[in-house]
Chains A and B, each alone.
Chain A
Amino acid sequence: MKHILHIFLTLNLCCWSTNIFSQTSDYKSITNPTSLKQTFANKVNNTSSIESNFTQVKQMKLLKENLHSSGKFYYKKEQKVRIEYLKPYNYLVVLNKGQLFVKDNQGKGNKVNTKNSKSLKAINQIMIDCMSGNIFNNADFTVTSFENNNSYLLKLTPKSTEIKSMFKNIEVYFDKKNTQIERLLMNENNGDQTDMKFKDIKTNINLSDALFQTR
């Protein structure tokens, strides 16, 4: 029985499934992403905050129907993220300087130090890097880049065995005009997908620090 308790105690996972949408047929590989990397580096420097709405669709082989949810997303420099699911359930995740706070649908809050969990830390960092544009510097994933007329597509493949066991890869879509994130797709190893789309994106607005309190 102690084994069960130990498992629950060490199981601190907050995974943002970013849907990986596998319609990459019209995308061409960017063989030399130097210019693209510079574009994203400029984005990192020029983006101090982001606020957006998001929708999430989970496609499961088990279910004929998809599971829909929606909420709001906030990012503030440095390393602050707030993801708030509002429908059909309430679920709040706040990341702030390595600290993770989660509040579930039943109103219970839980604070986690991500420094103790490599996988949790990696997943948290992906979200921050995707939103801030720092994605090419992420050490936990191999990044390959593609483009079509309208978008950049970055495919993130996990390097570590632990993260590989959680999902296959993540595809991140950015608007070519302003390098704003449009979509996150996560492909799970079992073939399920989670599709997160961002809309009504506002950048460099004044966001209160209270949004990112981890308590």
Chain B
Amino acid sequence: MLYSKHAKLLLGFAICVTFAASCKLPKYKMIAEPGSIAIFEQQKPTNFGTKIYSATIDGKYGIKKYHLSGLLILKQLEDSTTRAVFQSEAGLTLFDFEWHKNHSFKVVSIIPKMDKKPLILALKKDFEILMKINLQHENSFKTQDGDYISYIYPLERGFVDYRLLENQILDIKVFNDHKTYISFLPEAPYLITELPNNIRLVHHKAKFTITLKALENYAPTE
């Protein structure tokens, strides 16, 4: 029993060291409890139904500023498919993304001006992190810093860190090489099982911010 427990600790430590060496993680106080992350994953927002946000995208390219606004509709269908639709306030659909229950991703529709791979991949990643879709369970782990707990998942490049306090998400960071390049900053902590009401997705390197504000009183009717 004792040997088994030490073996698990060594395995967990080996995983952490490997990542620390090859992927340049920040200095976390690591807890070798890879199994505990399953609890976090089980509590993802799976039944949020329909969430409608007033959405804006602000950025700066050189000396030029740009601004785009619309409505972002996040919808979970009965067959466990998830959709993210962005449309102008006047109703025109700008893009429509779909995640099948088997986690495959599909662009249902997108206007030509937005049909660019880097943009699609950036938005895809943002939504997946927000809705906790397609997180790589393998090589994920949990860390703790005082009362704050982090669940860290590897990405294709870098990591995503969900930071929690008392089962509520305080913020989410995407980082690599000790630098945070995307911050998800909710206006207030929110439960793991829900989506935030108001949140900013700050892309530090790309210098643009997506701001989402839930339309609380917007109750669609038949």
Which stretch in A64-72, A130-138, A200-208 binds the other chain? Answer: A64-72
Residues of A within 8 A of B56 (CB): 104-106, 108
For residue B145, CB closer than 8 A to chain A, the reply is no
A13, B88: Cβ atoms closer than 8 Å: yes
Residues of A within 8 A of B207 (CB): 5
**Which residues of chain B from 30 to 79 have a CB within 8 Å of any chain A CB?**
50, 52, 54, 56-59, 61, 64, 66-69, 71, 73, 75, 77
Which of B71, B93, B208 is A190 in contact with, Cβ under 8 Å? B93
Which of A1, A67, A186 is B92 in contact with, Cβ under 8 Å? A186
Q: Return the chain B residue nearest A189 by Cβ.
A: B109
A15, B90: Cβ atoms closer than 8 Å: yes
A56 to B61, CA, bound (A): 34
The smallest beta-carbon distance between A119 and chain B, in angstroms, is: 8
For residue B85, CB closer than 8 A to chain A, the reply is yes
Residues of A within 8 A of B61 (CB): 2, 5-6, 8-9
Using A58-B91, A105-B54, A188-B93 as known contacts, say yes or no to A68 and B220 having CB atoms under 8 A apart: yes
Which stretch in B13-21, B150-158, B163-171, B211-219 binds the other chain? Answer: B211-219
Q: Return the chain A residue nearest B77 by Cβ.
A: A62
Residues of A within 8 A of B113 (CB): 7, 10-11, 13
Using A1-B206, A8-B68 as known contacts, say yes or no to A58 and B218 having CB atoms under 8 A apart: no
The smallest beta-carbon distance between A97 and chain B, in angstroms, is: 21
The smallest beta-carbon distance between B94 and chain A, in angstroms, is: 7
A105, B91: Cβ atoms closer than 8 Å: no
A58, B221: Cβ atoms closer than 8 Å: no
For residue A151, CB closer than 8 A to chain B, the reply is no
A134 to B82, CA, bound (A): 43
B93, A192: Cβ atoms closer than 8 Å: yes
For residue B138, CB closer than 8 A to chain A, the reply is no
Q: Summarize B's interface: helix, strand, loop or mixed.
A: strand
A4, B64: Cβ atoms closer than 8 Å: no
For residue B2, CB closer than 8 A to chain A, the reply is no
Residues of B within 8 A of A122 (CB): none
**Which residues of chain B from 83 to 136 have a CB within 8 Å of any chain A CB?**
83, 85, 87-94, 96, 108-109, 111-114, 116-119, 122
Using A15-B88, A88-B215, A166-B92 as known contacts, say yes or no to A1 and B67 having CB atoms under 8 A apart: no
Which of A11, A17, A66, A68 is B68 in contact with, Cβ under 8 Å? A11
A89, B90: Cβ atoms closer than 8 Å: no
Which of B73, B116, B206, B211 is A63 in contact with, Cβ under 8 Å? B73
A-B pairs, top 3 by smallest CB distance, nearest first, are: A65-B220, A17-B91, A194-B91
With A3-B117, A89-B71, A106-B213 given, can you name 4 additional A-B contacts, CB distance below 8 Å?
Answer: A12-B68, A66-B221, A89-B89, A194-B91
Task: Identify 20 residue pairs between A and B in the complex whose beta-carbon atoms are under 8 Å apart, listed by A's number.
Answer: A1-B118, A1-B205, A4-B122, A5-B59, A7-B114, A7-B119, A11-B113, A14-B88, A67-B71, A67-B218, A88-B215, A102-B67, A104-B89, A106-B54, A106-B69, A108-B58, A108-B67, A108-B69, A110-B67, A167-B92
